[in-house]
Amino acid sequence: MRPSVEEIEITKAFRFEAAHRMAKGYVGKCSNIHGHSWRGELSVICSKLDEYGMGIDFYQLDQFLNQIIEYFDHKIILFKEDTELIRLCDLSKWSYVVFDDENPTSERVAKYIFDEARLYFRESQTDCVVKSVMISETCSSKCVWSEDV
For residue 3, being part of any structural domain is answered with no
pLDDT at 126 over 90: no
Asked if residue 1 has pLDDT above 50, the reply is no
Contact indicator for 103, 79 with CB cutoff of 8 Å: yes
Q: How many domains does the chain have?
A: 1
Highest mean pLDDT among 4-13, 50-59, 109-118, 139-148: 109-118
- Of 110, 92, 102, which is closest to residue 39 (Cα–Cα)? 110
Q: Model confidence at 3, in pLDDT bands (50, 70, 90)?
A: very low
No. of H helices and E strands in the chain? 3, 6
**94 is in which domain, residue-wise?**
8-146
46-71 pLDDT, tens per residue?
988 888 888 999 999 999 999 999 99
Asked if residue 1 is part of any domain, the answer here is no
Q: What is the predicted pLDDT for the residue at 98?
A: 96
- Tell me the pTM: 0.90
In a domain, 118, yes or no: yes
Q: Give the CATH number for residue 34.
A: 3.30.479.10
pLDDT above 70: percentage of residues in the chain? 95
Residue 127 has what pLDDT? Answer: 81
Which of residues 27 and 19 earns the better pLDDT score?
19
- Distance, in Å, from the CA atom of 74 to the CA atom of 54, rounded to the nearest integer, reads 33
Is 50 a domain residue? Answer: yes
Adjacency order of strands within the sheet including 75-79: 96-99, 75-79, 8-20, 34-46, 128-138, 141-146
Share the mean pLDDT of the chain: 91
